[in-house]
Amino acid sequence: MRFLLDTLIKPLAGETGVDREHWLKVATATLLLEVVRADFEVQAVEMVRLESLLRERFGLDRGELAQIISEARLEADQLVSLQHLTRRINEYCSETEKVRVIEMMWEIVFADGHLDHYEEHLIRQVADLLYLPHSAFIQARHKAEPPVL
């Protein structure tokens, strides 16, 4: 499912739909990359899941995916605060889309089969900055959690 740009995104001065869509891809990828890095171990399985989620969510080909991830790495390396990312997501997206971002973040967490408290803290912080109710945070987690055998 892709972001529904025509109905979810409000234009900012001088921005086009293409600019907004690109920015949302990079912002989403940056948040996912921050989850990968949150436990101080970048694991291959997490990066594979990150790529898969971005490819599925935005319909990216290999070249576009590589470009988005490259930009997200630069953004993450210079990140001082999550507020500029979440502010724009709040401006552009519906609650449903914001919940989907949180679900994607949880999917990264569970890709390696281990929940680290730093990962959970980061997702809670992003959910709060996206003004999502705690119930949405919990529901997103349960949706992403692998089934217990």
Chain segment 78-120, per-residue pLDDT in tens: 988 899 899 989 988 899 999 999 999 999 999 988 888 999 9
Torsion on CA atoms 131, 137, 139, 143, rounded to nearest 10: 120
Domains of the chain are 5-144 (1.10.3680.10)
pTM: 0.84
- In what helix (H) or strand (E) does residue 111 lie, and over which residues does it extend? helix 95-111
Chain segment 10-47, per-residue pLDDT in tens: 444 445 556 788 989 999 999 999 999 998 888 889 99
How far are the Cα atoms of 8, 113, 143 from residue 24, in angstroms, in the given order?
11, 27, 22
